[in-house]
Amino acid sequence: MKSLTIAIALVGVTATASAFAQSNPPSNTSATETTQVAANTTQAPESAGQWVAPYGQPTQGKTRAQVYQELVHAEQDGQLAYLNSTVYAH
């Protein structure tokens, strides 16, 4: 019984160790390229917890009233009925 538990744990460790294999930059790049990439990709967000799009511009949040108005418009426009009949239909 113990050998089965150890075997399962070993398989689990082996499977998860490969997920982090590419976490370090390749060793054949020069130090300036690595520094330049790190400088470009590590930009501090304007406020903590705010999602920043991949292109670097922060998104503008919507109020509840704006979201509700979009929902009402989508219902009246027929967009929700179309989505329900095509995307969400089983």
Q: What is the average pLDDT across 8-19?
A: 73
Rounded to 5 degrees, what are φ and ψ at 58? Answer: -70, 145
Question: Residue 72's pLDDT band (boundaries 50, 70, 90)?
Answer: very high
Rounded to 5 degrees, what are φ and ψ at 22? Answer: -100, 20
pLDDT, residue 73, reads 96
The structural domains of the chain, with segments of one domain joined by +, span: 61-90
- Considering only 16-25, 34-43, 70-79, which range has the smallest mean pLDDT? 34-43
Question: Residue 71's pLDDT band (boundaries 50, 70, 90)?
Answer: very high
> Which residues are CB-neighbours of 58 under 8 A, at least 6 positions away?
45, 46, 50, 51, 52
Of 82 and 19, more confident: 82
pLDDT, residue 27, reads 58
> Taking CA 34 as the corner, what is the angle to CA 32 and CA 35, rounded to the nearest 5 degrees?
65
